[in-house]
Structure 1
Amino acid sequence: MNDQAVCCYRHPDREAGVCCARCDRRICPDCMVSASVGFQCPECVAGPSGGARRPADSGPRTVAGGSHHADPALVTKIILGINVAVWIAVLAVGDDLVTRLELFGRFPLSDDGLQGVAEGQWYRLLTSVFLHQSPAHIGFNMLSLWWLGPPLEAAFGRARYLALYLLSGLGGSALTYLVAPPDSASLGASGAIFGLLGATAVLMRRLNYDMRPVLALLVLNLIFTFTWSNIAWQAHIGGLVVGSAVAYGMVHAPRGKRLAVQLFTCGAALAAIAAMVLVRTFQLG
C-alpha cells in the first residue's frame, strides 16, 4: 500500500480510517483502544513512558486540541444551571422579566416606547437563549443539553465547547431577527441545542463513527421544526448551520495551525452573525 496518509503509523501495511483522539495519528483496528471519546493509540494510553515522543506542547489533548479535565461536563452543568436559574427567576418575578429579555426586532411595550434589537437592545440576542416559556419547553431543551453536551465538551474542551454553544445560540437568534417579523417574540435554547446536534454529527464523521443514528435524530427534529406550531424554525436552522460550521473548523484544523484556524472559524461565525444583525437593523431603521 503506497498511500501513507491512510496507513496506520504503527503498521504501515494496514489501512487506518481512525485517528487517535490524543495525538491525531492514524491507527488501524488492532491499535484502536476505546476511550471516553473516540479511540486512542496504545502509546497515548500508556502515557509519556510509552516510547513515542510527543510534541512538547501537546500533552493529553482532545480531538479538537482542548485539555482533558476530571469533570468533562462542568460547562454543561453551569449552562444548565443558568437556564434553570432564569426559569425560577421568571416564576418569581413574572412575565415582565420575559418581556425585557426575550428576542424581538421592534415592538411597542406599554408606555416605554419602541423596544427590541433594532432599538439597540442587542443583549436580547443572547438573553433570549436562556429563556423558556413552559415546563415542557425547558424540560425538553435541558434534557437534550444533558444528552448532547458532555460528550461534546469532553471532545472539544471547555473553552471551545462554550464558544460552540454561545455562537450556535447567537446564530439562531441572528437568523430569527433577520427573517422573522419584527414584532414576533422568540426565546429558548433550541438554537444552541441544534448547534450541538450539528456538532455531534460533525464529530462523529471526524471519528468515523456510524452516522445513521445522529442523522435520523437530526431529520426527526427538522420534521418537528417545520410541522409543529409555535416553533421558531429560524432559530433551529441558524443554530444548526453555525454549530456545524464552527465544529467543522475546530475538529479539522491542522495540528500545526490548530488554534489559529479555530480562532478564525469562531471569528468568521461571529462576523456573519454581526452582519445579519446589522443588515436587519438597517432595514428596520
Structure 2
Amino acid sequence: MDQEQAPNGLSSCYRHPGVETGIRCTRCERPICPDCMVSASVGFQCPECVRNGSGTGHAPGASRPRTLAGAAVTAGDPHLVTKILIGLNLAVFVAALAVPALVEDLMLIGRAFDFQTAQWLGVADGEWYRLVTSMFLHQEVWHIGFNMIGLWVLGGPLEPAFGRVRYLALYLLSGLAGSALTYLLAAPNSGSLGASGAVWGLMGATFVLVRRLKYDPRPVVGLIALNVLITVVFRDTIAWQAHLGGLVAGAIIAYGMVGGPRERRAPMQWGACALVLAASLVTVVVRSSDLSVLMLG
C-alpha cells in the first residue's frame, strides 16, 4: 500500500509513519527511513525484502541484514547506546552534585598546582583519564540539558545507521578529539568539562550522512551555523576548542563509515578511527611535553 504524501512531496516510511523520506526500497519500492535502510549492491532495501531473501542486501549465506555502515542489524532497542550514554552523563551529574569534589577530580585540567596537597595535577602530570572523564561531567542543569537533547536528537538516527559499535566509536573518539584540542589550545590551568565535543561530533557525522543519502543538507547546515553563532557569542564561557575538534573528528569518522566504496568500507572505517585517535594522542603527547618543560622551568 502506498504511503501518504507529505506537503513537501516526500513519503512517510512504511514502518515508521510520520517519518519523511525520499528513499525507496530497490525491490518493493516502499519508502524507507534511515532506521530501516539496509545497504544493497545497488541502493537500499527494506528489512522485509532482506529477511525474505528477495534482495541482495547481504552476502550469500548471511542470515542478518546490514546497516548502511556495514554493521549487522541487531534486534532490540535501536537507540540502546544513546540511552546508555545519556544515563551515564546523568549519573555522573548527580554524583557530582552529591560529591562536589568529583568535579575537580574528573574535569579536564592541563596543569595546575594543588596547594592543599602541594602537588601538580592535570593531564600533563599523567592524569590522562581526565580527557575522557570530562566528557561525561557537567555542573549546570542547562549545560547537561542542552547536551543531552542534542545527543538524543542527533544520536537517534545515527545509531541505527552506523550500528552500535561504530556509533559508540564515533561518540567517544569525537569527544576525545575535542578534549585533545582543548588541551592543546586552552590555558593549561583552565578547567573544561561537558559532552559538547562528542555531541558536535554527532553533528558533523549527521551532515556527512545526510549528504551520503542525498537528503537536503540545509537543515543540518542551519543547525551547525546556529551552534557556531552561539559558540562565537559565548566564546569566553564555552570551550569552542572542544566543539571544533569534535565537529572535524565526527565528519572524518562518518566519511570513513559511509562515504567510501562498499568493497573498501572496512579499511576506511578502521583508518578513519585510527587517524582521529592517533591525531588526538599525538596532540596530547606534544602538549604534555611542552607543559613538562614549563614545569621544570
The TM-score with structure 1 as length reference comes to 0.85
Q: Per the alignment, in what secondary structure is the counterpart of residue 192 of structure 2?
A: coil
The Cα offsets for residues 35-88 of structure 1, whole Å up to 9 and x where unpaired, read as 353756567642344544541348411111112232111000111010000011
The Cα offsets for residues 77-114 of structure 1, whole Å up to 9 and x where unpaired, read as 111010000011111111x1100100011001233211
Aligned residue for 2:31?
Answer: 33
Distance in structure 1 (CA, Å) of the matches to 2:133 and 2:248: 20
**Which one of the candidate residues 242, 263, 273 is aligned to 2:270?**
263
Please state which structure has a larger fraction of its residues in helix.
Answer: 1
> Do the aligned residues in 1 keep the contact of 2:82 with 2:159 (CA within 8 Å)?
yes
The alpha-carbon deviation at position 33 of structure 1 amounts to 2.7
Distance in structure 1 (CA, Å) of the matches to 2:138 and 2:169: 21
Aligned residue for 1:46?
Answer: 49
> Do the aligned residues in 2 keep the contact of 1:33 with 1:42 (CA within 8 Å)?
no
Aligned residue for 2:106?
Answer: 101
> Do the aligned residues in 2 keep the contact of 1:38 with 1:207 (CA within 8 Å)?
no
Aligned residue for 2:59?
Answer: 55
Distance in structure 2 (CA, Å) of the matches to 1:167 and 1:273: 9
Distance 1:52 1:130, change over 3 A: closer
- Root mean square deviation of aligned Cα: 2.2
Aligned residues: 261
Aligned residue for 1:277?
Answer: 284
Distance 1:65 1:111, change over 3 A: same
Unpaired runs of at least 5, structure 2: 1-21, 39-43, 293-297
Aligned residue for 1:179?
Answer: 185
Distance in structure 2 (CA, Å) of the matches to 1:155 and 1:38: 8
Aligned residue for 2:130?
Answer: 124
Distance 1:44 1:80, change over 3 A: closer
**Which one of the candidate residues 185, 204, 217 is aligned to 2:210?**
204
The Cα offsets for residues 225-259 of structure 1, whole Å up to 9 and x where unpaired, read as 11114101000000001011001101123322322
Matched, 1:162 2:165: no
Distance 1:36 1:268, change over 3 A: closer
Distance 1:43 1:76, change over 3 A: closer
Equivalent position amino acid for 1:47 in 2: V
Distance in structure 2 (CA, Å) of the matches to 1:110 and 1:154: 48
> Do the aligned residues in 2 keep the contact of 1:43 with 1:51 (CA within 8 Å)?
no
Equivalent position amino acid for 1:204 in 2: V
Unpaired runs of at least 5, structure 1: 1-17, 22-26
Question: Structure 1 stretch 124-133 or stretch 32-41: which is displaced more?
Answer: 32-41
> Do the aligned residues in 1 keep the contact of 2:45 with 2:55 (CA within 8 Å)?
no
Question: Structure 1 stretch 58-67 or stretch 173-182: which is displaced more?
Answer: 58-67
